[in-house]
């Protein structure tokens, strides 16, 4: 069992125990409400989890696909991880962050999966006996504001295909920004800061951890250079 849930270098991002205990919910609720973003009830988030789990055979391993913060702060226990490619989606900064990594006056931006292209990230296998608890941690965290639509996807890994849960952009969400020019994204991310820390920290963590895994994302690497240059001005 691999446990990366409670490392202390995530810059305000929650750990597994904080999520499952409800402490993160309490911590995040105030700055999310200050940004006037509705919070999806925990019961509703867990019901979505249960519905998706009902679509698979009982006792099977469950895979979860991470493409952003789940790579550098998974906040759940997993038994195995693999580099994985997802066809039909790409990662892009498409959400305004007006609470967690920004504010209403100085919004940052957050990643999501958008249709088209492909994306290389990390697939995590959760053992059958802990699926319910570990997925609860993920769904309580990722669905808090309704920005993401969870769904099953097919992945390619070096050990064969895998069916996994991941989180795609909810284009109907109030903070959905769509596709913006890269220089505008960089400007928005440079100084934004919210209840979970700075937006640039989120970008830098994602880019650096992808590189450590041997994954190249030219868009994120370019954006990182642009934000560092703007910070140096």
156 is annotated as an active-site residue? no
Helices (H) and strands (E) in the chain, counts: 8, 9
Q: What percent of the chain has pLDDT over 70?
A: 94
Residue 89 is predicted with a pLDDT of 98
Rounded Cα distance between 164 and 151, Å, is 8
Predicted local distance difference test score (pLDDT) of residue 80: 96
pLDDT score at 31: 85
pLDDT at residue 10, as a whole number: 43
Task: State which residues form the domain around 164.
Answer: 2-232
Which residues 6+ apart lie within 8 Å of 170 measured at CB?
146, 147, 148, 149, 176
- Domain count for the chain, please give it: 1
- Domain with 74 in it: what CATH number? 3.10.490.10
Cα distance between residue 91 and residue 84, in whole Å: 14
Please state, rounded to an integer, the average pLDDT across all residues of the chain: 92
Of the listed 142, 184, 193, 201, which one is catalytic?
Answer: 142
Could you state, in chain order, the average pLDDT of each consecutive group of 10 residues for the chain (233 residues)?
Answer: 35 84 89 89 97 85 95 95 98 96 95 98 95 96 96 96 97 96 95 94 96 96 97 81
pTM: 0.91
């Amino acid at each position: 069992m691999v446990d990366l849930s409670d490392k202390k270098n995530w810059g305000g991002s929650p750990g597994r125990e904080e999520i499952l205990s409800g402490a993160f919910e309490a911590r995040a609720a105030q700055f999310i409400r200050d940004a006037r973003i509705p919070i999806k009830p925990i019961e509703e988030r867990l019901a979505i989890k249960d519905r998706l789990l009902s679509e698979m055979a009982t006792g099977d391993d469950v895979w979860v696909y991470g493409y952003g913060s789940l790579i550098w702060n998974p906040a759940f226990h997993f038994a195995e991880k693999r580099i994985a490619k997802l066809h039909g989606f790409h990662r892009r900064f498409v959400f305004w962050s007006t609470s967690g990594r920004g504010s209403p006056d100085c919004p940052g931006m957050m990643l999501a999966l958008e249709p088209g292209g492909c994306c290389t990230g990390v697939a995590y296998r959760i053992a059958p006996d802990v699926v319910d608890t570990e997925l609860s941690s993920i769904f309580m965290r990722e669905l808090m504001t309704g920005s993401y639509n969870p769904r099953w996807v097919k992945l390619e890994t070096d050990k064969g295909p895998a069916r996994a849960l991941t989180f795609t952009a909810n284009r109907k969400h109030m903070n959905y920004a769509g596709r913006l020019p890269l220089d505008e994204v960089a400007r928005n991310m440079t100084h934004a800061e919210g209840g979970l820390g700075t937006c640039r920290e989120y970008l830098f963590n994602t880019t650096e951890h992808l590189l450590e895994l041997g994954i190249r994302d030219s868009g994120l690497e370019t954006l990182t250079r642009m934000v560092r240059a703007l910070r140096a001005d």
